[in-house]
Amino acid sequence: MARFLSEDKLKGFEKYKYNSVDTSVLSNYVMHPFWNWCVQFCPVWVAPNLLTFTGFLLTVLNFFVFSYYDYGFHAMTAENVSNDYIPSYVWAVSGVNLFVAYTLGEFNPFDIIIEIDMTIIDEVSTLRFLFLIWNIFFNFYLTHWEKYNTGVMFLPWGYDFTMIGSCILLLVTSVFGPKAWHVTLPGGITPGVIFEFVLYFSAMLTSQTVILWNIYKSYRDGTGKMRPFSEAVRPLVPLIIFFVLSSVWAIYSPTDIINRAPRIFYILTGTIFSNINCRLIVSQMSDTRCEVFNWLLVPYAGVVLLVLGAAPGAAAELLLLAALALLCSLAHIYYGTKVVQEMCQHFNIECFHIKPKIK
């Protein structure tokens, strides 16, 4: 049976040591003391993987709950053409779930996006929101690309503030309802437009420019991996290819698929991005050459070419989108499961349980 982790990758994992720099005021002076207090109540046999996986399941639960109550993203709009309604307790529970997931070490950029979407979908079209998704994806990916080249994970300030801000946003909505985000501020500006601007501006100011500067310094001072330019930018190739394909499909779809099935389109985008990002993480942790192409892009590109070239019709395009989302989700789950199994087998450990030390 084919393996996802080569011998070089497994040997690289044996030498891996986590190296990060966290200068966030919120993280160092608020969250870390809180986490240090919480960890006292965690049984010593519980592996960190179990905590993180539990946090991941909470974000998945949030996604399915919101999908049940508001599949088409109509509940937050002023018109609410489908008469969907999200109970106030759902907002509160999802906010608590998100905070617990954050505390357990889970960060799912796609879940954050969906939470934010609930507040700004009235002012931002589904296409504009797709590019907001990509903005957050790029920031998340570039952080790991930065570590791939520098050997150091420079934790961005925006991570902690975004997580806490999203939790507060959900709790405020549970108290005041969606109407709280339909107000018009001075100058005719709405909260949705402000959120959109903040996401783009903060990405450029606190993430992208800082990442480029850190990579430049690592080359200038000789502290990084010192890869040649072609190797340094190699991880960006599959992401850029996917971004182009995703944008072309959303913009030029003959049946306007991004408006007819936004949730499926978003989850498909997030799933393929996650697979590309996970492969980069494996490469940077094992200090091996990153893959220049992701095979999930083959069926994705095939569907895009079929839809744009043959214009199969509204029902057929929706079916192709759903089938592709299912296929990519199963492939990504299989990849993640196999990688974890191969690592556990190599290191003779259990994924969710810490073996007691033999005295």
* Beta strand ranges found along the chain (DSSP E): 20-22, 153-155
pLDDT above 90 (res 123): no
Q: Are 354 and 45 in contact (CB under 8 A)?
A: yes
Interval 254-279: pLDDT, tens: 999 999 999 999 999 999 999 999 99
| 359 domain-assigned | no
d(CA 33, CA 40): 12
pLDDT above 60 (res 121): no
What does the mean pLDDT of the chain come to? Answer: 88
Query: What pLDDT, on a 0 to 100 scale, did the predictor assign at position 7?
Result: 92
Query: What pLDDT, on a 0 to 100 scale, did the predictor assign at position 158?
Result: 76
| 316 domain-assigned | yes
| 358 domain-assigned | no
d(CA 266, CA 63): 12
Query: What pLDDT, on a 0 to 100 scale, did the predictor assign at position 285?
Result: 94
Question: What does the block give as tokens for 241?
Answer: 């290819």
What is the band of 42 on the pLDDT scale with cuts at 50, 70, 90?
confident
pLDDT above 90 (res 46): no
Q: Are 34 and 40 in contact (CB under 8 A)?
A: no
Domain range enclosing 333: 7-347
Question: What does the block give as tokens for 27?
Answer: 């993280």
Query: What pLDDT, on a 0 to 100 scale, did the predictor assign at position 118?
Result: 56
Q: Are 21 and 355 in contact (CB under 8 A)?
A: no
What mean pLDDT comes out for the span 132-159? 90
Question: What does the block give as tokens for 342?
Answer: 């191969």
Query: What pLDDT, on a 0 to 100 scale, did the predictor assign at position 220?
Result: 95
| 356 domain-assigned | no
What mean pLDDT comes out for the span 55-67? 89
pLDDT above 90 (res 337): yes
Task: Mark 305-337 as b/e (b = at least 16 C-beta within 10 Å).
Answer: eebeeeebeeeebbebbeebbebbbebbeebee
| 147 domain-assigned | yes
Contacts of 190 (CB under 8 A, 6+ apart): 122, 123, 181, 182, 183, 184
Q: Which residue has the tokens 């990060």?
A: 20
| 352 domain-assigned | no
Task: Mark 254-289 as b/e (b = at least 16 C-beta within 10 Å).
Answer: ebebbebbbbbbbbbbbbbbbbbbbbbebbbbbbbe
Q: Are 202 and 116 in contact (CB under 8 A)?
A: no
What is the band of 134 on the pLDDT scale with cuts at 50, 70, 90?
very high
Angle between helices 126-150 and 236-252 (to 10 degrees): 180
Could you give the number of structural domains in the chain?
Answer: 1
Q: Which residue has the tokens 């393996």?
A: 3
What mean pLDDT comes out for the span 234-238? 97
| 317 domain-assigned | yes
Query: What pLDDT, on a 0 to 100 scale, did the predictor assign at position 122?
Result: 57
Query: What pLDDT, on a 0 to 100 scale, did the predictor assign at position 276?
Result: 97
d(CA 301, CA 93): 38
Most confident of 78-92, 183-197, 284-298: 284-298
pLDDT above 80 (res 163): yes
Put simply, whether the predicted model's pTM sits higher than 0.85 gets the answer yes
What mean pLDDT comes out for the span 93-107? 85
Interval 3-26: pLDDT, tens: 899 999 999 999 998 888 888 888
| 29 domain-assigned | yes
